[in-house]
């Protein structure tokens, strides 16, 4: 297969991979962030301490994280058909990708938020801030570099999961690798796809690291005490 033959196939498969990963990341960002913060708030000593809710949410997150993605992919076929009307293609693969990413990101968010200095929380409360104010003005801003790092890890995991979904007709680069690289013995095509996936993951990691460094520097500058004037 020549490069001219590969180009349109790669272009379409890459676009499908971006769509799968992008939608799943957005869903995980919203729901995973909410679940992670909820786990912190409802834990023992939290602002909304409720151990029953914490145990239930924690159990759901643990079950979601423990299932291998391939099993989740198959187990969610009825739900996937109900949501998007089909069980094949990139649209269908997006559903289990999003479901699998939510608990994955939620645990990372929980760890990031737990690392926030309790003194900041107490300061907001001392000024009469509500629970929402504490989350908005203390927990999320201070944990932002860690949250971005966690999101970077989640996106990289989703790229790998999307390639895995391609083995069962999920579209994207994984499906292209199986259809042409494996079944049609196009070794050169397989090598090109592997290189593209490596470059994609590397780019995501570099962008994530850059964002974390910028946010960390801004946070450090914001927390520096004002120097007394001389004279």
Q: What gap in Å lies between CA 217 and CA 93, rounded to an integer?
A: 38
pLDDT class for 67, splitting at 50, 70, 90?
A: confident
- What is the predicted pLDDT for the residue at 98? 93
pLDDT class for 23, splitting at 50, 70, 90?
A: very high
Q: What are the tens digits of pLDDT across the range 131-146?
A: 888 888 888 889 999 9
Q: Determine the distance from the C-alpha atom of residue 94 to the mean position of all C-alpha atoms in its chain, rounded to a whole number.
A: 13
- What is the predicted pLDDT for the residue at 220? 52
Q: What gap in Å lies between CA 17 and CA 39, rounded to an integer?
A: 31
Above 60 in pLDDT, residue 223?
no
| Average confidence score pLDDT of the chain | 85
pLDDT class for 101, splitting at 50, 70, 90?
A: very high
Q: DSSP per residue over 164-226, as a string?
A: HHGGGT--HHHHHIIIIIITT--HHHHHHHHHHHHHHHHHHHHHHHHHHHHHHHHHHHHHSPP
- What is the predicted pLDDT for the residue at 181? 72
**Taking the model in full, what pTM does it have?**
0.87
Higher pLDDT, 76 or 170: 76
Lowest average pLDDT, out of 92-106, 138-152, 157-171, goes to: 157-171
- What is the predicted pLDDT for the residue at 219? 58
- What is the predicted pLDDT for the residue at 184? 72
- What is the predicted pLDDT for the residue at 13? 87
Angle, CA of 43, 27 and 97, to the nearest 5°: 105
Domains in the chain with CATH codes: 10-221 (1.10.3720.10)
- What is the predicted pLDDT for the residue at 225? 41
Higher pLDDT, 183 or 56: 56
- What is the predicted pLDDT for the residue at 228? 43
Nearest residue to 153 (alpha-carbon basis) of 57, 47, 4, 28: 28
Nearest residue to 55 (alpha-carbon basis) of 38, 72, 31: 38
Q: What gap in Å lies between CA 16 and CA 61, rounded to an integer?
A: 28
Q: What are the tens digits of pLDDT across the range 35-51?
A: 999 999 999 888 888 89
- What is the predicted pLDDT for the residue at 230? 44
């Amino acid at each position: 297969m020549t490069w001219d033959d590969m180009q349109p196939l790669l272009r379409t498969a890459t676009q499908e991979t971006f769509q799968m990963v992008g939608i799943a990341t957005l869903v995980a960002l919203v729901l995973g962030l909410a679940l992670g913060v909820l786990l912190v708030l409802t834990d023992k000593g939290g602002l909304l301490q409720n151990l029953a809710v914490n145990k239930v949410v924690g159990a759901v997150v643990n079950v979601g994280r423990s299932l291998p993605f391939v099993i989740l992919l198959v187990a969610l076929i009825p739900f996937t058909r109900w949501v998007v009307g089909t069980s094949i293609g990139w649209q269908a693969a997006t559903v289990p990708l999003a479901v699998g990413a939510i608990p994955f990101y939620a645990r990372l968010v929980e760890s990031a938020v737990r690392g926030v200095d309790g003194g900041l929380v107490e300061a907001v409360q001392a000024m009469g801030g509500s629970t929402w104010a504490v989350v908005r003005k203390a927990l999320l801003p201070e944990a932002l570099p860690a949250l971005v790092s966690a999101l970077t890890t989640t996106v990289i995991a989703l790229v790998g999961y999307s390639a895995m979904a391609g083995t069962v007709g999920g579209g994207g680069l994984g499906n292209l690798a199986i259809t042409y690289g494996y079944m049609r013995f196009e070794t050169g095509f397989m090598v090109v796809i592997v290189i593209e996936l490596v470059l994609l993951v590397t780019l995501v990691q570099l962008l994530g690291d850059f964002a974390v460094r910028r946010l960390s520097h801004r946070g450090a500058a914001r927390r520096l005490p004002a120097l007394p004037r001389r004279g």
